[in-house]
Amino acid sequence: MTRTASDTMPSGTTGGTPQILLSHHLKQLKLPTVLREYEKVARECAESGVDHPRYLLRLIELELIDRERRTVERRIRAARFPAVKSFDTFDFTAIPGLNKMLVLELARCEYILRRDNIIALGNSGTGKTHVALALGLAACQKGFTVTFTTAASLVSQLLEARDERRLLKLQRDLASVKLLIIDELGYVPLSSTGAELLFETFSQRYERGSTIVTSNLPFEDWTSVLGSERLTGALLDRLTHHVSILTMNGDSYRLKQSAARRRNPSSGAEQNQATQTVDPDTGEILTP
Ligand code: ADP
Ligand code: MG
């Protein structure tokens, strides 16, 4: 009996039209964009007389762009942001005390290469979480791994991991991420074990990766959260060795927004402004 080529071929690669085979191979090679686009791009290239190498180049470039986008999306999901926010929606004029130049420089993520830290301090509603989220998003887009958490949630995760004898694994994960964002340090006082575990996290990341901390408390009040002056001193020592501090004191953006809504409940702001002027203090309509 004569052997045919198909006898020696791996299963799934024989028979069928070239399209079926091609689709199979492209799936195996994990080239979904080439698979989705090759016929359309072929038609376009045929119409405009583009040669085969350029046709192939176009397809491969599409795959690369899509692959980068998928990787960024994966990093964003892995970061566990409570919401995706960027600097595009951040109004710097609402918080004039914030150093805009410094923030935009930080958005370039070079501090992550230097393993520097960032601390954002200020009262509630001034955009600290927004800025931390936007810096986290920028880091994902620049190719860094990010983890977002709150101080309270991080401490309870650490305590739980310790009880379940998987603390080392969690600590290793926390130490290896390029950017760790710890939001809201200061809202909840920590137990002494909790504070020790948080300190260890900072210690293990020291000069290994960047950490962003946001807090409503000035440094002198951190002892009230961490419980011990010695621990607070040691933590601040590590955290502030290479640090950019963002001072974000001002009016609460949340309160300002809701006050504006109360003044103008229909909130079709632009439309209304075309026909009437509202007194910003009293909400009174000045020109009907
Ligand atoms: P904080 O963390 O300082 O308490 P947030 O970042 O949570 O404040 O801000 C409260 C809300 O107001 C969020 O929805 C945030 O997106 C919005 N916000 C705060 N500051 C600004 C700003 N300057 N520009 C646009 N939105 C802002
Ligand atoms: Mg916040």
> At 82, is the secondary structure helix, strand, or coil?
coil
Residue 26 lies in a domain: no
- Residue 46 and residue 118 in one domain: no
- For the CA atoms of 88, 253, 98, 130, what is the dihedral angle to 10 degrees? -50
- Quick: pLDDT tens for 108-156: 999 999 999 999 999 999 999 999 999 999 999 999 999 999 999 999 9
Question: Closest ligand 1 atom, CA of 122?
Answer: 3
- Residue 124 and residue 206 in one domain: yes
Residue 17 lies in a domain: no
CATH number at residue 214: 3.40.50.300
Q: What share of the chain is helix, strand, coil (3-state, %, to 5)?
A: 55, 10, 30
- What is the predicted pLDDT for the residue at 261? 79
Q: Which of 154, 159, 15, 143 is nearest to 75 (CA)?
A: 143
- Residue 101 and residue 163 in one domain: yes
Domain range for 46 is 33-78
Tell which one of 85, 98, 183, 254 to mutate to probe ligand 1, the residue whose CB is within 8 A of the most ligand atoms. Answer: 254
Residue 9 lies in a domain: no
- Residue 176 and residue 74 in one domain: no
> How would you write the pLDDT of the chain (288 residues) with one tens digit per residue?
444 444 445 555 555 689 999 999 999 999 999 999 999 999 999 999 999 999 999 999 999 999 999 999 999 999 999 999 999 999 999 999 999 999 999 999 999 999 999 999 999 999 999 999 999 999 999 999 999 999 999 999 999 999 999 999 999 999 999 999 999 999 889 999 999 999 999 999 998 999 999 999 999 999 999 999 999 999 999 999 999 999 999 888 888 888 877 777 754 433 333 333 333 343 333 333
Residue 14 lies in a domain: no
Ligand 1 is surrounded, with C-beta below 6 A, by: 85, 89-91, 94-95, 124-130, 253-254
- What is the predicted pLDDT for the residue at 19? 92
- Quick: pLDDT tens for 145-184: 999 999 999 999 999 999 999 999 999 999 999 999 999 9
Q: Pick from 78, 99, 134: which residue ends a domain?
A: 78
- Quick: pLDDT tens for 170-180: 999 999 999 99
Q: Which of 241, 168, 157 is nearest to 198 (CA)?
A: 157
Q: Which of 90, 97, 92, 88 is nearest to 123 (CA)?
A: 97
- Residue 43 and residue 146 in one domain: no
pTM here is 0.82
- In the chain, how many domains are there? 3
Q: Pick from 57, 78, 99: which residue ends a domain?
A: 78
Residue 10 lies in a domain: no
- Residue 263 and residue 238 in one domain: no
- Residue 48 and residue 163 in one domain: no
- Residue 49 and residue 186 in one domain: no
- What is the predicted pLDDT for the residue at 17? 85
- Residue 271 and residue 176 in one domain: no
